[in-house]
Structure 1
Amino acid sequence: MATDTTTQDSPDQNVNNDLTTKSPSFLKRFLPRSLLGRSLLIIITPLLLVQAISVWVFYDRHYETVTKRLAQGLAGDISMAILLLEKTETPYEQAHIFRLMQKTTDLSLTLHHDITLPPTAWTPDWSVLERRLDQAISEQMMKNFDFIHQYEIDTVSLADQVKIQIQLDSGVLLILVPSKRLFTSTTYLVILWMVGSSVITFGVAVIFMRNQVRPIQRLARAAESFGKGRDVKGFKPEGATEVRQASGAFIRMRSRIKRQVEQRTAMLAGVSHDLRTPLTRMKLQLAMAGQDEDIKNLQTDVIEMEQMINGYLAFARGEGREETVSCEITGLLRDLVDQLGQNNNPIDLHIEEDIVIQLRKESFKRAVSNLVTNAQRYAQHVMVCARKRKSASGYLLEITVDDDGPGIPPESRLDVLKPFFRLEQSRNQATGGVGLGLSIANDVISNHGGDLSLEDAPGGGLRARIILPF
């Protein structure tokens, strides 16, 4: 019985562990992980930066300069009106000046003799533009009216007008200024144009980048399907030149792998099949030769050779061209357990839920059968469990085969998955077969894009764990 609980992962599993368990840095946690998201981020970040700088420069330079000039003109008109009012002597002259200012400067003036401005001017909660406007008017008022010490500017009370009140010796001068004299529509037009162009640019970038990323996604799905042993139909190179090169390389690689597997399978099946003919003649000749001790030893050797050839053929069939089908795991495992438990020790089966997955049904059934048969050969109790697990990339099918046998030493667990490797070196077929059972199972699971690992069972013995992605 093995006592070391350390397991050895395959290189692919180590790579997946590195990709999924490595914690990202603080900044990378907030950045997109997809190629589309990162490509859009590369496009949008400089665009937003340029837009922000442009808005700041425009607001700080253009708007402030224009507002200053408009406020300067308004202050000049108000200064002229005050100087004219100081020279008037009759109400009729004041009214004439008010009409003249209304006609020439579009300013509405009213003089109130019975009120005074309060000591503290009203300071509403202005927006940024209104604060800038009030500041510009105040600066020009202070420059032009050295003799005025108290005034009030209200830019928010009236919808289309700015209200200015100035304390004079004769009373309070109320001035209503149209907003169009102080506000320029260029500000809003420029900002609207910049925001609109950004939105249009972003939309065009999303459309083009999605078209560029889609061929990469198809290539990834084709590679994943091929790694799981599924046939990739209708895949062709498309997209940018680099993506087409990668797709063409994938198609050529897939063709070479298929050709190599087919050639190796055909050679192994052909050799094994050709050996059966002389082997059958040898069995017939030995059966007619008698029953002495030497003949019995030769018959035993022939039987062992036949078992080896059957193992070679089973290994070759494991790499056949069986099509993938939708398979219900619960029914498959129950049929397998019922079949293998008839003439051997009973098998405990535990299934958490119904699982449907795309498989080469016969090949997968042969792989699980080899694991269960191997456990029955060395143990008294065998338990098979199946469940669905959730991972970062999707769902996984996990099947474990536990036994209470002597187990396999940790240093030999990778070797027993290799073809023709046996822990028992005597080559006696009764004590370990030809060394192809676990290698066939490992080969079938790998062709499905999964992983087969050998571990210590929780109750002692050996655990064979199958992990298959959905």
Structure 2
Amino acid sequence: MNRLFFRFFLFVMLAITGAAFAVHFAISRLYGDPLEDIARRQAAAQIFLLQHYVDQAPPDEWLARLNKVREVSDVRYDLVPLAQVRAALPESRHAALARGDVVIDVAHKAFFRRVDLKGERYVGSDEDVIHAQGLPIDTSQALWQEGLRYAVVALALLAPIALWSRSHWKGLQHLSQVADDFGAGQLSARAVMPRSASIYPLAERMNAMAARIGQLLESQRSLLHSVSHEIRTPIARLEFGLELLRSAADAESNPALEKRIAAMEKDLYELNALVSELLGMARLDSGQPLQRQPFGLADALRDCVAGLPPGADIELQLADDLGTVDGDARLLMRAVGNLAGNARKYAAHRVVVAAARLPDSVEIIVDDDGPGIPPDEREHIFEPFYRLDRSRDRNTGGFGLGLSIARKAVALHGGSVQAADSPLGGARFTVRLPV
């Protein structure tokens, strides 16, 4: 936000500077150099003396009067050949010199003027130029005045712009804070500002958007609770019915019926697991705030691995300085459990879960020695219901939600999950959590 207004301020300053140069250029083109006019006014006494005293002398006394002026004046008057002056002056000043005008040299505090145009003062006077040096010309004060004038104009423009920008800045800061609060799960956060505020329409639209999102999330929560109740209830009845049916089958010793009941129980277990996964995914997407609190990472990882279903052994390699992590332990360990369970499902013999503490993050790595994941599939596997071709059978496939839930859970903590090749030959999943 500060960068936005700094750029705006810089743009205004550049615009004012450009306008100052444009004004100076336009005045110079239309009316001549302003500094030359100032210098001409400052040298007005010397010019007047030359034009109304020296030039008024009779032809045979012109040089004598010039010498008298030399004696009493602090200004140095020299007679210089016309060709030499033309070589010293830029071509744009030659025409004025040829007309007999006074040509001001501001940089050297001097002026040039031809003695006359017809050689009437003395022999060869039409080829001589009076060069007056040491004139009382000082344009620094004029430049300071000009700079002060533009500074006053700049301040007069910047003061109201600054006040106007400050109100915008405060309003945008407030909107930014509301957006952060809303994104953090405070769905009741709203922008409150007077109707006279310039960004009030934006705040109203943002509040309407937040209200709509809040309604959608609340509807999703209601649907989640309803679905949880409505689906769990028939599943429980089915489980109870199957249990009664199994008791009857055991009493009749009917192997075919027992096999069919076992298949139905397996289907029911998968349905129950699918509902649990879907409800878990919905909870992550519902915007519910995390139950954050510090927890010991090493102990949590040991409990997580110990709580996984039976299968291949998982080797733990935990650093001694893991310390604590601030977050929702249940959610994070579910993510790690999904990754470890997925690794154990496809591993040939070995699964390793390692953890280390870096300067600015905690890194949890899950390696396996299975078939690995093709590079072009490594981002797709985190999409809901996406499964690799080799895992689409019911024995190993799952539902394609475990990795998606893992990435969402880690992302809610500001972390990331990436898939890569493992040194063991299979897949490596790396979880990075900020500390």
> Which TM class, normalised by the smaller chain length?
0.5 to 0.7
Q: Which runs of 5+ in 1 are unaligned?
A: 1-31, 87-97, 102-107, 120-130, 156-161, 163-178, 390-394
Residue of structure 1 in register with 2:421 after alignment = 456
Distance of 1:221 and 1:385 partners within structure 2 = 35
CA distance in 2, matches of 1:249, 1:205: 30
Partners of 1:323 and 1:360 within 8 A in 2: no
Aligned residue number for residue 212 of structure 1:
168
2:181–2:189 CA contact under 8 A, matched in 1 = no
CA-to-aligned-CA distance 1:339-382 (integer Å, 9 cap, x gap) = 4158742222359976866x444323322221122223333122
Q: Deviations over 1:215-270 (max 9, x none)?
A: 4455556556656x643563416552563365245414532541353244224422
> Shift in Å at residue 454 of structure 1?
3.2
- Specify the alignment match of 1:71 in structure 2: 43
Cα distance in structure 2, aligned partners of 1:388 and 1:204: 50
Q: Which residue of 2 aligns with 1:418?
A: 384
- Offset of 1:433 from its aligned partner? 4.4
Residue of structure 1 equivalent to 2:290? 324
Q: Distance in 1 between matches of 2:108 and 2:115?
A: 11
Q: Secondary structure at the match of 1:138?
A: strand
What corresponds to 1:46 in structure 2?
15
Q: 1:435 and 1:80, CA in 2 relative to 1: closer, same or farther beyond 3 A?
A: closer
How many Å separate the matches in 2 of 1:48 and 1:408? 60
Alignment correspondent of 1:25: none
Cα 1:247–1:195 shift into 2, 3 Å: same
CA deviation map 1:81-137 (0-9, x unaligned): 779999xxxxxxxxxxx9xx9xxxxxx9479xxxx99x9xxxxxxxxxxx9546564
Asked if 2 retains the 8 angstrom alpha-carbon contact of 1:351 and 1:387, the reply is no
In structure 2, the residue matched to 1:139 is 112
2:268 to 280, 305, 308: 305
Letter in 2 for 1:231: Q
Partner of 2:154: 198
Residue of structure 2 equivalent to 1:231: 186
1:440 aligns with 2:389: no
Change (3 A) 1:132 1:328: farther
Equivalent runs, 1:38-437 vs 2, <5 Å: 38-57=7-26, 61-77=33-49, 109=72, 132-133=105-106, 137-139=110-112, 153-154=133-134, 162=136, 187-202=143-158, 204-213=160-169, 215-216=171-172, 219=175, 223=179, 230-231=185-186, 234-236=189-191, 240=199, 243-244=202-203, 247-248=206-207, 250-252=209-211, 254-286=213-245, 288-291=247-250, 292=253, 293=255, 294-295=257-258, 297-299=260-262, 301-302=264-265, 304-306=267-269, 308-320=271-283, 322-324=288-290, 326=292, 331-332=296-297, 334-341=299-306, 344-349=313-318, 359-379=327-347, 380-385=350-355, 399-409=364-374, 413=378, 414=380, 417-419=383-385, 423-428=390-395, 431-437=396-402
| CA distance, structure 2, for counterparts of residue 444 and residue 465 of structure 1 | 14
Give me the CA root mean square deviation. 5.1
Does the CA contact (< 8 Å) of 2:382 and 2:407 recur in 1?
A: no
Change in 2 beyond 3 A, CA 1:438/1:418: same
Distance in 1 between residues matched to 2:227 and 2:343, nearest whole Å: 27
Superposed CA offset, 1:18-40 (max 9, x none):
xxxxxxxxxxxxxx995334433
Structure 1 residues 421-444: Cα deviation after superposition (integer angstroms, max 9, x where no partner):
58544424xx45454422322343
8 Å contact from structure 2 (residues 387, 400) kept in 1 = yes
Q: Which amino acid in the other structure matches residue 62 of structure 1?
A: P
* Partners of 1:449 and 1:468 within 8 A in 2: yes
- Inter-partner Cα distance in structure 2 for 1:442 and 1:465: 11
Deviation at 1:50, TM superposition (A): 0.7
Give CA-to-partner distance per residue, 1:367-426, whole Å, 9 cap, x none: 22211222233331223346669xxxxx88765432222234556552564248585444
- By relative contact order (CA 8 Å, sep 6+), the higher-ranking structure is 1
The TM-score normalised by the length of structure 1 is 0.61
Name the CA shift for 1:257/1:183 in 2 (closer, same or farther; >3 Å). same
Identity of aligned residues (%): 19
Aligned residues: 379
